[in-house]
Structure 1
Amino acid sequence: MQHTVEVLLPLGVKTPFTYALPAEMGLLCVGDIVLVPFRGKELWGVVWQLDTNPYKGELKSIRQKAELPPLPDQFVTFLKRIADYNYFPLGLSLKLTLSQTFLETKKTRKFVDLTPLQLDHHTPIFSAEQQYAIDHMVTAIDTHRFQPIVLDGITGSGKTEVYLEAIHQTIKTGKQALVLLPEIALTNQMLARFEKRFGKSPLLWHSNVSPTFKRQTWQAVLKGEAQVIVGARSALFLPFPNLGLIIIDEEHDGSYKQEDQITYHARDMAVLRASLEQAPIVLVSATPSLETVQNIEAERYQKLTLSTRHGGAVLPSIHPIDMRQQPKGWLSPPLLNAIQKTLERQEQVMLFLNRRGYAPLTLCRQCGLRLTCPSCAVALVEHKHHQRLCCHHCGYSQTRPKNCPDCGAEDSFIPCGPGVERVHEQVCKRFPSARVEVLTSDTLTSVDLLSEVIEKIRRHEVDIIIGTQLLAKGHHFPLITLVGVIDADLGLSGGDLRCGERTYQLLHQVSGRAGREKHLGHVLLQTYSPDHPVMQSLCQQNRDQFNKLELVDRQEHHMPPFSRLVSLNLGGRDQTLVAETARQLGFKAPKVDAVQIFGPAPAPISYLRGKHRWRFLLKADKAYPIQRLLDHWLSQVKLPSSITLDVDVDPQSFY
């Protein structure tokens, strides 16, 4: 007779495995981290359940228990809930938090600074609005209760200082705090503000952090030694035993959605985690997502508003330039004149185009052949800086061919459309004495490089900044008084459910870079659709009216946030087999009044990374248990081993 435990491993498995508990190991509890044999090797896993019925068969034994505290009960529950909601195997939820490298026992130098924050290092002076917001957050923190709070503040209103004060109060109560940022590009400026407020930097968690630093940070979090973590979406899966506050900065940002392999939305899962931890969560944005707006309307979330810019700065004026009335060219005369006047005043200009590279299309002028990626059904983007044609989906690149492979014409390929590199070329020709800098993820390949360029801009060593959405969020450049948007309509095409919302949010954020301090700011939007509701709302600076129109449209069509979507994506290298498998799955589709099933149909990008793709889209009532329907439906069809099926609950993109 032997005692057994169920151990979950961080693999794509749906259930834990049974192991024998050696008598000399003593008692274990749920959440304990243990080393077990598995298929010829040893893996760290987590005790998921204590078996009450003795097992009489032959079992492999647990090798050892880690010298660490167990995963907290509420965190184990969180991992179960996210796997269930997002419809992925339970073991993958553990994989989100437990890496085998985190349990390495080798001795290394201590990299992580665990000295306490200096709570009295620097206390800023707050406006009446800021203090009102802080007081409400402090009440929720002190009472240790779940409270979703939306900090809705215009750009430059001091939202960061407000939530840093909330972190101060959290640390005073002996709790831990987590701050999520949408992109690691924002972490350096956050560190500067954090260090000014608390005398030292917080611990960081993102993809550029070294393995040794991650291991020490993960263990410090589990032991309760880490007071504050600032990180990307993956930081949500750190095993805090005493979490007292979660901050989601730029909560509307699409980067919070994980779309590869394990799909989840970090913002929504953070709300779930806060509810299990009985902790307040603060969703911060100048342009809250429509899901958040609807939760405010339904009184599920509390809204705190910051309506004025910090330090007396005022919002910039925003004007459209109707490109239908302008001569041919990427830069219109009104924008060029505004740039000239801004430079004469010795102020800075930001030009925004959310398109990397030199040109989005390369065509043969003789036969019209479009150069496309051999592994994806998309056009190759020319990058003049690297002298390559690149695929932005799979990373494939090639040089531009000398002869057209279709018609044989020599030197016949021409670039079509502008990217930031092409805008840079035009700007340098028009303003040869100006100091111009391009900011994109292609040229600034690390946080340190980005920080260097940002410091150059702040020291006024740059006159004109040209960039993509890397420029849009959070940066504070006091001398930028003119923002020009080159192709403001870019995000409005494609039929995406959220294209209008995303375009408004992005352009609102970009506009907010102008006139941050004493200087008045101006924004010029080059558009072929000046009467579009997005452009009208931006120019009138009437965000609430835009949200109202969008919500009415979504409700009329029973779309999120008034319903739930689920995307099923089939992929494989055999085009015929993928199509046939999709049809077989379609024959078994259930018929339920509360659920509409669209498809099967080829995906909008039907060939991606070497795989042919078909998809289904499900639209269900909000309260309907869609995961149960998926269980019943998908169990009826055995997929060929060469076909993958990815389920995306609450999809954010539809390619």
Structure 2
Amino acid sequence: MPALEIYAVALPTPLRRTFDYLAAEPAEAAPAPQQTLLLQDDPAPSQPAHEPSIKGRPGMRVSVNFGNQKLIGVIVAVKEHSEFDLKKLKPILALLDATPLIPPELLHLCQWAAHYYHHPLGEVLAAAIPVALRQGEAAELSTEKAWQLTVNGLHCDLNELRRAPKQQQLLQQLQDEARLGVSTVLHKDLLLQAVNRNALKGLSDKGLIDALEITPEPLRPAKLLKTQPLVLNAEQSNALAQITLDDYTCHLLYGTTGSGKTEVYLQAIEQVLRAGKQALVLIPEIGLTPQTLSRFQRRFNRPLAVLHSNLNDTERKQAWLLAAAGDADIIIGTRSAIFTPLRRPGIVILDEEHDTSFKQQEGFRYSARDLAAVRCQRLGIPLILGSATPSLESYHNARQERYRLLLLTQRAGDAQPPAIELIDLKRQPLQEGLTQALLEQIEQHLLASGQVLVFINRRGFAPTLMCHDCGWLSQCHHCDARLTVHQQPAHLHCHHCDYQRPLIHHCPTCNSRELHCVGQGTERTETLLQNRFPDFPVIRVDRDSTRQKHAMSNIIDQVNRGEPCLLVGTQMLAKGHHFPNVTLVAIIDADGGLFSTDFRGPERMGQLLLQVAGRAGRAEKPGSVLIQSHLCEHPMLQTLLHQGYSAFAQLLLHERQLSMLPPFRFMALLRAESSRSENAHELLQIARNMAERICPSQPDLQYLGPLPAPMEKRNQRFRHQLQIHASSRAQLHQLLTPLIAELEQHPLSRRTRWSLDVDPQDMS
């Protein structure tokens, strides 16, 4: 009698366990998809995919009954025995894959992440695969729209399109691709490059290109490179020579802004591709995708895949499967792309590794940077962390020689570091937050055909509305926050809970009409500059102005045309953008991070200032940086600007060590929130009592709280937190494992929303 098969299935539920199901009986087995992508070096199934004799294996998806609903889960183990009565076990409804959808290496990474972050494995696996696949769609590639040149298009003289420059540019690109042996170009790839849809339609109407539906196939012309690599300087050559490709080493590529880190990435990837392997490149922001994709497409003659949240479900599934099958040689993505299966893994690169976007702040709170280190170590492949302002954790690891430090201190080519000057705001007359000296410098750079970047890290017109007669402030009714004034369109907006209301003209307390906008935002600064410099375009870059698809790409294209203009924006402008014609960067207020309630506030402030400053003087034109501050003599600001980021980081690390804060201690943050403040506080007090019982407070393990969160009330819920500090990771997790198991059994934990954040990056 054959042994009974029992599947341990991880389901997307908040329960921290797997569930046992029986293999489907032959008579009841549901047909599997007609085609399932082979994700590892398995032989083709000996039986057709619809045969019920296919055996379940870890990594395959199954459809099951769970209570009164049907769920899609993932088999994590196949066993012969169960701790439950076999008569009570349900059979699966269907086995959805003929071979494992999630390869063993990725399954083990998800299991490790579930254990380390103390999160349900089923939800971790659900986060690791695209929505379409977690909903049960077949793991097979779809046809995609593509474009190819007609005979007329291949031989068309570009001068015939001189009156349609966008069509001319697109046709030249397609002709160049054709000469390199690329006969078809996917529609989605053109859109990712922000190609104008009207240009496509125009070329199609002229009979120069045809649309067709294709199943993507990897096109690998004999010639790997489209363009030759740049000549590296001595520091770049030394960094590239130290990157080992045949085993795991974490390299911290610490290079000043404009030092050519991207060229080191490209040449390291070239070596990986020549060895027949894949490269995974993680970037912090969707807005960087077109720029990054363009650089890689200009250099490599190899198929690429892109993964980020702005793609629809079908596009994400397609890119994920192409990477899994090995049909995409380079994968570019944001945080969640760390879970992309790789058939031939060769290297992982995190650009702007310091960026907080690499830490998921809701639900499954993982760090893509830390998971990349774990994954690369298990795969035996190199990891490159690149930044001009590395996180203190990474910098400390490099100083302790856990990471290999690769330094780039010089800007690439002929570019020189920008000159940085502080402007003391004390006793200065201001025009909407800008000094006269700053406005004069802006005018000089514009008249000299330069571009100017004005940085203010606040959206909207003004941070708040105030009554001049009684002191009333526009407070959000749902949060401990003030409503931001917006003028385009006119309304009051809470950026924490998204509450909005029309702009008012009478004080609700005293009925006065003396309502004043207090403080500066991007809209207010934009209005001032438009009035002051009417002959130059003013381009605002924030979440409000870039909501539409391709808006950021269009802005970058406009700036890169090189005409004099003013860029006004938030930290979106600080993240890796290359603006070769920006000659002046103006930072309106540098003081915010010096007063942060988060111990990481000064670190974030220093990183942001240097990242923004690094946008100036990136080409042959010299650059200048003007920073307005009320605290010009502050030692942190002085250290940062006059001694550089390394000295600044060492100063902060010394303070962290004295305060016993990360990276010298390990932290977990237990958060609770409820519509009743006492419930959140009580649950965390219960948690602390449990923790003290498991492991009493001692010098190596300490508790702080429960305390209200820095913003206690948000979206009509009161938030509290309990900090747990330990001298070692092992000690921290030895406490968390029994604590979470005990806490989730307490009745109050079912009536109060709570979460655990291991290695928190945001204390709010």
Equivalent pairs counted in the alignment come to: 650
Residue identity in the other structure for 1:11 = T
Paired residue type of 1:580: E
**Worse-superposed segment, 232-241 or 323-332:** 323-332
C-alpha distance in 2 between matches for 1:632 and 1:64:
34
Task: State the Cα distance separating 1:496 from its structure 2 match.
Answer: 1.4
For 1:66, which of 97, 106, 110 is the aligned residue?
Answer: 97
Aligned residue runs from structure 1 range 595-614, under 5 A: 595-614=701-720
**In the superposition, relative to structure 1, how do residues 134 and 289 fare at CA in structure 2: closer, same or farther (>3 Å)?**
same
Q: Who is 1:110 aligned against?
A: 144
Partner of residue 643, structure 1: 752
Q: Deviations over 1:74-122 (max 9, x none)?
A: 2111111111111211212111113451241398423674424552322
1:293 alignment partner AA: Y
The CA distance in 1 between the partners of 2:54 and 2:619, in whole Å, is: 64
Q: Which moved more, 1:580-589 or 1:566-575?
A: 580-589
- Taking the aligned partners of 1:646 and 1:80, their CA distance within structure 2 comes to 19
Written as runs of structure 1 = structure 2, the 5 A alignment for 1:350-499 is 350-407=453-510, 409-446=511-548, 448-499=550-601
The alignment's C-alpha RMSD in Å is: 2.0
Residues in 2 aligned to 1:309 and 1:395: alpha-carbon distance in whole angstroms? 42
3-state SS in 2 of match to 1:303: strand
**Structure-2 change in CA distance of 1:446 and 1:462 (3 Å):** farther
Q: For residue 294 of structure 1, what is the aligned residue in structure 2?
A: 396
* Contact kept? 2:725, 2:732, Cα under 8 Å: no
The normalised TM-score by structure 2 is 0.82
TM-fit CA distance, 1:561:
0.6
8 Å contact from structure 1 (residues 184, 447) kept in 2 = no
Give 1:380 shift: 0.8
Distance 2:563 2:448 in 1: 15
CA deviation after TM superposition for structure 1 residue 491, in Å: 2.3
1:541, 1:467 → 2: CA distance?
Answer: 27
Say if 1:35 and 1:43, in contact at 8 Å, map to a contact too.
yes
Runs of 4+ with >4 A deviation: 111-114
For the structure 1 residues 570 and 58, does the alpha-carbon distance in structure 2 shift closer, same or farther, using more than 3 Å as the test?
A: closer
Determine the C-alpha separation between the residues in 1 that align with 2:126 and 2:526: 43
Does the residue aligned with 1:310 lie in a helix, a strand or coil? coil
- Are residues 1:122 and 2:224 paired? no
Q: Which moved more, 1:256-265 or 1:90-99?
A: 90-99
1:547 to partner: Cα distance:
1.2
With over 3 angstroms needed to count, the CA separation of the structure-2 counterparts of 1:116 and 1:545, relative to structure 1, is: same
Match of 1:82 in 2: 113
Give the structure 2 partner of residue 7 of structure 1.
Answer: 9
Identify which of 574, 581, 584 aligns with 2:686: 584
Q: Matches of 2:335 and 2:278 in 1, distance apart?
A: 17
Residues 451, 565 of structure 2: 8 Å contact kept? yes
Is the CA contact (8 Å cut-off) linking 1:84 and 1:627 kept in structure 2?
no
After superposition, the C-alpha distances for 1:292-342 in whole angstroms (9 at most, x for unaligned) are: 111011111001122221121110010101111422441112211211211
1:545 and 1:578 map into 2 onto residues whose CA distance is 41
Matched with 1:16 is 18
Structure 1: how far apart are the matches of 2:259 and 2:621? Answer: 16
Structure 2: how far apart are the matches of 1:343 and 1:220? 47
Match of 2:252 in 1: 150
Counterpart secondary structure, 2:87? coil
Q: In the aligned structure 1, how far is the partner of 2:101 from the partner of 2:361? A: 30
The offset of 1:27, in angstroms, is: 3.1
- Structure 2 distance, partners of 1:151, 1:548, is 17
Q: How high is the TM-score relative to the length of structure 1?
A: 0.95
Equivalent of 1:620 in 717, 726, 730: 726
The residue number in structure 1 matching 2:450 is 347
Name the aligned partner's letter for residue 628 of structure 1: Q
1:220-299 matches, cutoff 5 A:
220-299=322-401
Q: Distance in 1 between matches of 2:612 and 2:540?
A: 15
1:179 is aligned to 2:281: yes
Contact 1:33 / 1:68 at 8 angstroms: preserved in 2? no
Distance 2:321 2:531 in 1: 54
Deviation at 1:537, TM superposition (A): 2.9
Q: Does 1:46 align with 2:46?
A: no
Separation of aligned partners in 1, 2:591 and 2:453:
18
8 Å Cα contact 1:564/1:622 also seen in 2: yes
User: Does the 8 A contact of 1:363 with 1:416 survive in 2?
Assistant: yes
**Aligned partners of 2:361 and 2:753: how far apart in 1?**
15
Partner of 2:363, secondary structure, is coil
Partner amino acid for 1:87?
A: H
Asked if structure 1 preserves the Cα contact closer than 8 Å seen for 2:73 and 2:122, the reply is no
| Amino acid paired to 1:302 | R
Deviations 1:30-77 (A, max 9, x none): 222333333344433222112132774243223124144442222111
CA contact (8 A) 1:435 1:461 kept: no
TM superposition shift of 1:572:
1.0
Contact 1:271 1:281 survives alignment (8 Å): yes
Unaligned runs of 5+ in 1: none
1:446 Cα shift? 3.8
Aligned residue type for 2:530: C
Answering whether residue 60 of structure 2 is matched by residue 32 of structure 1, we say: yes
Q: Which moved more, 1:310-319 or 1:579-588?
A: 579-588
Asked if residue 306 in structure 1 is aligned to residue 340 in structure 2, the reply is no
Query: In structure 2, which of residues 623, 628, 640 is the aligned counterpart of residue 526 of structure 1?
Result: 628
Greater shift, 281-290 or 622-631, is seen at 622-631
Distance change >3 Å, CA 114–CA 245, structure 1 → 2: farther
Distance 2:302 2:482 in 1: 47
Task: Please give the alpha-carbon distance, in whole angstroms, between the structure 1 residues aligned to 2:12 and 2:686.
Answer: 32
Q: CA deviation at 1:492?
A: 2.0
Q: 2:437 corresponds to which letter in structure 1?
A: P
Contact map agreement 2:22 2:89 (CA 8 A) in 1: yes
The 3-state SS of whatever aligns with 1:319 is strand
Provide Cα deviations, 1:500-526, integer angstroms capped at 9, x if missing partner: 111111110111111111111110100
Which position in structure 2 is the counterpart of 1:654? Answer: 763
**How many angstroms does 1:19 deviate by?**
1.3
SS in 2 for 1:372: coil
**Which one has a bigger Cα radius of gyration?**
2
Question: Which range moves more in the overlay, 122-131 or 511-520?
Answer: 122-131
Q: Deviations over 1:216-239 (max 9, x none)?
A: 222222323222210110111122
What is the one-letter code of the residue matched to 1:188?
Answer: P
Offset at residue 290 of structure 1 (A): 0.7
Q: In the alignment, is the contact (CA less than 8 A) between 1:156 and 1:516 conserved in 2?
A: yes
Secondary structure of 1:244's match?
strand
User: Kindly tell me: are residues 65 and 454 of structure 1, through their superposed partners in 2, closer, same or farther at Cα, counting changes over 3 Å?
Assistant: closer
Contact kept in structure 2, 1:436 and 1:462, CA below 8 Å: no
User: CA–CA distance in 1 between the matches of 2:273 and 2:326?
Assistant: 12
Distance 1:423 1:279 in 2: 47
- 587, 612, 615: which is aligned to 1:510? 612
Match for 1:626: what amino acid? L
Q: Which runs of 5+ in 2 are unaligned?
A: 27-51, 146-185, 187-215
| 1:95 pairs with one of 106, 112, 126 | 126
- State the AA in 2 paired with 1:367: C
